[in-house]
Amino acid sequence: MKNFFNKSMILVGILMLAVLMSFSLAVADEVADDVEDLLDRVDALELKAAKNKVSIFGDFRVKYDNIKFDYQPHFLYQGGDPTNPMSYMPYEAYDLKNSENWSLKLRLKIDAKPSPQLHFTGRLVMHQTYGGSGVPIFNGFPNTVAYDANATNIPTDNALRVERAAFTYSPANSPFFFTAGRQAATNGPPRELREDRVRQGTPGGLMIDAEIDGIMIGMRLDETIGLPDGSVFRFCYGTGFESGFGGGGAVEKSYVPGFDPVNGQPVSLVVSELKDSKVAGGCAETPIPQLPGKTLLTLGYMRFIDMTDISTGYTRNFPVPYDGNEQLVTSTRNLGDMDLFGACFQQEINDISWFGSIAYNKSDPDIGAVSQYGFGGLLGNPLESESGMAYYLGARFPVKATDGKFGLEYNHGDAHWFSYTNGADDIAMSKLATKGSVIEAYYIQKIEKKFKIRVGLQAYDYDYAFSGWHIAPAPMENFELANNPMLGYAFPDKITNLYVVFDLDF
């Protein structure tokens, strides 16, 4: 009887334990479901909050260009020894026309503020020529070499590429801020006027218009030394060419395809001891409240350190003439340094806007350093320093009868002028890099609040070849276009471009 009672109590205990365990498991499952549901709700709230902090907007442009290139008489290189005049054939004056060139440009802009102190900005760009190719044909202009600094601003294929991607950290209660990434270095002042937009970039457009990766430290001068509201100084540091990671600087020597001008045969060029190409400098900006209207004064200085002969990129028909295959070109030599100074003043009074900009550049060559491709040294002189200068003027007026705007711009650069503006989206070539003069007139007609049409005419008048290049195979006086120069690639004397732009914001 006692054994039966003991066994019964054990059985009852086991049953009670099982019931308790089942109840506990049920409660635990219910609690787990509640916790999981709570976590899902928290994730949804965090996602909603994150979405509320991110803005995506942009613009879309369709452009028509009617372009004409005029060439004066010149001698064109045919192969062999480039120092021998017999290697050049005379050409009479001629012209090339493209009466219908269409392109489209999509810019997706991303703006996010993860916290009050953090700000991210980005811009993705697709810039395509109707029926165009991803790799351009080299025509003597640097914008027909597709590389990192101009990847989104020369029309090629329909790929979406990163033009800007950077974060800015602004510590609380501090006048300083820090930015790292792909900087806002394209479409700087005053280039926003002809696009009828707010200011798009930081450095002056006459100096810099390219995609630059680097870091920037800024200081709000209105909070530190009492300058007017909106006064800022920025120190910038970036990389133009990375030699160590796949660039030839981390190996004893490497080889790139080249061309032997003496026997006219392709050769392998030895590349060794390349150094990084860097850019360092600063820019400052301030309004001038003592003057009427809205004003902005920008000042800038940049030093390009250990400049290479050419950037790593893709093109066709270079460096081997008459070869139309896609080719990789890369740096073969560090040539020296270059200083670039600039200033721009803008003013708006009664809807009339005007500007004046001036810039100066000076080379500091590594003595005797020249490109292995045969394109020479800095500003055509690898032995001594050379300097150049340019200026840029313009105004935009309201046309009240039609609710439109009319603008007129003029820029001029001398024989040794160089600016880092190969990322500009002028269809022929950056007009602000011209060794000569450019006149541009345009009219902007507003159709709706976020839709407008711009009709314009650009007239380039080149004095020298090698506009846009920081290198030349001989002193620049040898390439004055009015004097039947000997050229490796034909260079136009004049370019006329009539364009129509359909511009939509969204």
What tens digit of pLDDT does each residue of 20-55 get?
455 454 544 565 566 566 556 656 655 555 566 899
CATH architecture of 53-505: Beta Barrel (2.40)
CA distance 205 to 359: 10
- Class of residue 368 by CB neighbours under 10 A (exposed 0-12, middle 13-18, buried 19+): exposed
Return the pLDDT at 326. Answer: 83
* pLDDT value of position 16: 54
pLDDT, residue 4, reads 45
Among the listed residues 336, 339, 418, 417, the one whose alpha carbon sits nearest the alpha carbon of residue 377: 336
Under 8 Å between Cβ of 200 and 192: yes
Q: Strands across the sheet with 88-91, in order?
A: 88-91, 74-77, 486-487
Torsion over CA: 154, 414, 235, 215 (sign): positive
Check residue 125 and give its pLDDT.
Answer: 97
What pLDDT does 207 receive? 96
Output the CA–CA distances (angstroms, integers) from residue 500 to 340, 409, 455, in the order listed.
33, 17, 5
pLDDT for the residue 47: 54
**pLDDT digits 0-9 by tens, 425-456:** 898 899 999 999 999 999 999 999 999 999 99
Residue with tokens 């650069």: 413
Instruction: For 192, list phi and psi in degrees, rounded to 5.
Output: -70, -20
What is the pTM (predicted TM-score) of this model? 0.87
Residue-level pLDDT at 209: 95
Q: What is the pLDDT along the chain (506 residues), one digit of tens a residue?
A: 445 445 555 554 554 555 445 545 454 456 556 656 655 665 665 555 556 689 999 999 999 999 999 999 999 998 888 888 999 999 999 999 999 999 999 999 999 999 999 999 999 999 999 987 778 888 889 988 988 888 898 888 899 999 999 999 999 999 999 999 999 999 999 999 999 999 999 999 999 999 999 999 999 999 999 999 999 999 999 999 998 877 777 777 877 777 776 676 778 888 888 899 999 999 999 999 999 999 999 999 999 999 999 888 888 887 766 667 788 888 999 999 999 999 999 999 999 999 999 999 999 999 999 998 888 999 999 999 999 999 999 999 999 999 999 999 999 999 999 999 988 989 889 999 999 999 999 999 999 999 999 999 999 999 999 999 999 999 999 999 999 999 999 999 999 999 999 999 99
Closest alpha carbon to 177 in 212, 223, 109: 223
The pairs formed by 171-179 with CB atoms below 8 angstroms and a separation of 24 or more are 171/117, 172/116, 172/117, 175/219, 175/220, 175/223, 175/224, 176/217, 176/218, 176/219, 176/220, 177/217, 177/218, 177/219, 177/220, 178/215, 178/216, 178/217, 178/218, 179/215, 179/216, 179/217, 179/218
The pLDDT, as a whole number, for residue 15 is: 47
Tens-place pLDDT, residues 180-207: 999 999 999 999 999 999 999 999 999 9
